[in-house]
Amino acid sequence: MNALKIIETKDGSHSLLNEAFNETYHSTHGALQESRHVFIKNGLHFWMHQNDVKEVAILEVGLGTGLNALLALKESFERKTRIRYTSVEAFPVPFELVSLLNYPGLLDWPEAEKFFHQLHAAPWNIPATITPEFILEKLEGTIQDMSLGEPKYDLVFFDAFAPAKQPEMWTLGVLEKIARALKPNSAFVTYCAQGQLKRNLKLLGLTVESLPGPPGKREMVRALCARH
């Protein structure tokens, strides 16, 4: 396991520094505000506004600290929206480390700590019912080795380490596998705004949008899939 260290980002929320990659799991400008901006506001809220339904299937590439999953669970809990949340992680963060992260205390949500621990304590590779509206399936392994099957995801949170640090995660082959698993009227969001990423997503037939990024980052990417 690579050496991991808890750091505090500029909005007061924690992140992890992977010392082997010299890469953080979230923006040093603010972990919580980055996740809210990229994955909740421009991902989940956008999709829910575009699709007037009460159920969404999310694929997350990179469970990491579990922050994105916790924020999605909070939305599900408060909006009574059913979420099937599948998260892929090749290197799970030890429970004793994630239990020290301060995310629950920063959310205006009394149940946050209980559910944050449940997310991380849930078994791997089988669905777990966290609440009646939130079904979590954590898949241990690499996205390259997984079969995602038929189109079944409405929304993708792509939260791998940056292309410069983990280029194998951003290849056309990986993106093609994900694109094949997207349902009609689905969306793909990531903090990354790399030119090659945009070109690859366009090659796969997705409509690519460059959006204002979170604090400290000029742009992020959202790609839309209307086909099938």
Which DSSP symbol is given to 99? T
Look at the domain 31-225 and name its fold.
Rossmann fold (3.40.50)
Give me the pLDDT at residue 148, please.
92
Q: Residue 110: how many CB atoms within 10 A of its CB?
A: 8
Give me the pLDDT at residue 113, please.
97
Give me the pLDDT at residue 1, please.
46
Give me the pLDDT at residue 149, please.
86
Pairing between β-strand 55-61 and β-strand 23-24 as defined by DSSP bridges:
unpaired
d(CA 164, CA 3): 19
**Cβ proximity of 215 and 191 under 8 Å:** no
Nearest to 113 by CA among 99, 129, 133: 99
The secondary structure element, H or E, covering residue 8 is strand 4-8
Which tens digit of pLDDT belongs to each residue from 96-113?
999 999 999 999 999 999
d(CA 107, CA 206): 34
Task: Give me 90's structure tokens.
Answer: 């090749």
Q: Which amino acid type is present at position 6?
A: I
Give me the pLDDT at residue 118, please.
98
**In the chain, domain spans:** 31-225
Give me the pLDDT at residue 227, please.
62
Q: Name the pTM for this structure.
A: 0.97
Give me the pLDDT at residue 20, please.
87
Q: Which residues of the chain have pLDDT under 70?
A: 1-2, 227-228
